[in-house]
Copies of this chain bind each other. A is one copy, B any other.
Amino acid sequence: MISTKGRYGLRVMIDLARNDNGNFIPLKDIAERQEISKKYLEIIVKRMVEGKLIVGSSGKGGGYKLIRKPEEYTVGEILTLMEGTMSSVACLADNAYECPRKKKCETLPMWEEFDGIIHDYFYGRTLKSLL
């Protein structure tokens, strides 16, 4: 299940795209429009800055801004950054321990196929498509 990190993160990206006028957009404005606590959003955007999805600028006239054009972000990369992994099961997560039953597991092929569907869905959809 997608947590608030992923959901709010996406909404911040949409908000930044929607209200882009070339200047930095203060988090206060985003928080008000999106009706999310600014304090909590700080955690969200921090990760987005670290992940190079957006850029921040301190001080007056500061705020956040997209780095690329909306059509150059996939929803998948945004969610993956925010959620850590997009795998449906722990066995297939990025940091997965090597499961000893891997070869004889009767459910693994299904999880793999399903993860492929998830991947195709979210990586085949751009931020622009959400505007």
A interface residue numbers (CB < 8 A to B): 1-2, 7, 10-11, 14, 35, 75, 87-90, 93, 100-101, 106-107, 110-111, 114, 117, 121-122, 125, 130-131
* Copies of this chain in the oligomer: 2
Q: Are B7 and A107 in contact, with the CB atoms below 8 A?
A: yes
Given contacts A1-B87, A1-B89, A88-B1, A117 and B121 within 8 Å (CB-CB): yes
A-B contact pairs, 8 of them (CB 8 A): A1-B1, A1-B89, A1-B93, A2-B111, A11-B106, A114-B121, A114-B122, A117-B117
Q: A89 contacts which of B7, B101, B107, B131 (Cβ < 8 Å)?
A: B7
Which listed residue, B35, B90, B100, touches A1 by the CB 8 Å rule?
A: B90
